Amino acid sequence: MTNYKKSPNPEVKCVVNTCTHWIPGNICGAGNIDILNEEVGKMSTSVEQTMCKTFEERRGLANFIGSADNVNWVGFAEELVGMGRQLNPTVTCIVDTCKYYHKGDLCNIDTIEITGKNAKECQATDCATFEFNGEQSKNEKIQQSREKGEEFK
Ligand code: SF4
Ligand code: SF4
């Protein structure tokens, strides 16, 4: 279950309208999103090398149910009853070559933008807010083991 207490945590704006988590208004309805590097073991130096791994192509109801364990139900309920809190996922990001990376796989900026309209796979999505910090990754080994199939938490 997602914990909604990550801090810092940015507001997520997403234009990937082909994703099962996407909601009109450029909102992401996922409970948590994972931002990774597109190529296993290769830390990003540009926006295009990042991706939203939580992307799942929308394919009707079965797909939605398939992703039901990663839905911000509390946010949905509050949005429905008008409590005014915008739906927003927690963000887990291991791209430590980004200026906004914060220790603990967090992201320390007010808002991030996920791009990749009409994407059919997560590699076609990007964190457009990424800015290269000009440094070597300290996270590469952990990231590689995660990307080789270990659960990403
Ligand atoms: S691509 Fe990522 S940020 Fe966008 S709606 Fe899907 S899970 Fe959310
Ligand atoms: S802005 Fe940087 S730290 Fe934040 S999610 Fe995007 S790549 Fe990760």
Task: Kindly tell me if the per-residue pLDDT of 87 is higher than 90.
Answer: no
Element (H, E) at 99: none
Any atom of ligand 2 within 6 Å of the Cβ of 101: yes
Which residues lie across from 91 on neighbouring strands? 33
Q: In whole angstroms, what is the distance from residue 47 CA to residue 59 CA?
A: 27
- CB of 91 closer than 6 angstroms to any ligand 2 atom: yes
Nearest to 49 by CA among 135, 118, 116: 116
**What is the C-alpha separation between 30 and 64, in angstroms, rounded?**
11
DSSP 8-state code for residue 30: B
Token pair of 29, please?
Answer: 């309805």
Question: How wide is the angle at C-alpha 64 spanned by C-alphas 62 and 67, nearest 5°?
Answer: 110
Give pLDDT tens digits for 94-153. Answer: 999 999 999 999 999 999 999 999 999 999 999 999 999 999 988 777 777 766 765 555
Per-residue pLDDT for 92 more than 70? Answer: yes
Q: Which pLDDT value is given to residue 83? A: 63
pLDDT computed for residue 65 by the predictor:
58
Take atom 2 of ligand 2 and give the residue whose Cα is closest.
130
Q: Which residue has the tokens 């990663």?
A: 70
Ligand 1 neighbours by CB, cut-off 6 Å: 12, 14, 16, 19, 21-22, 28, 30, 33, 52, 54-55, 114, 125
pLDDT in tens, 7-24: 999 999 999 999 999 998
Q: Residue 93 pLDDT more than 70?
A: yes
Tell me which residue has its CA closest to atom 1 in ligand 1: 55
Amino acid 15: pLDDT: 97
35 neighbors 52 (Cβ within 8 angstroms): yes
Q: Is the pLDDT of residue 61 over 50?
A: yes
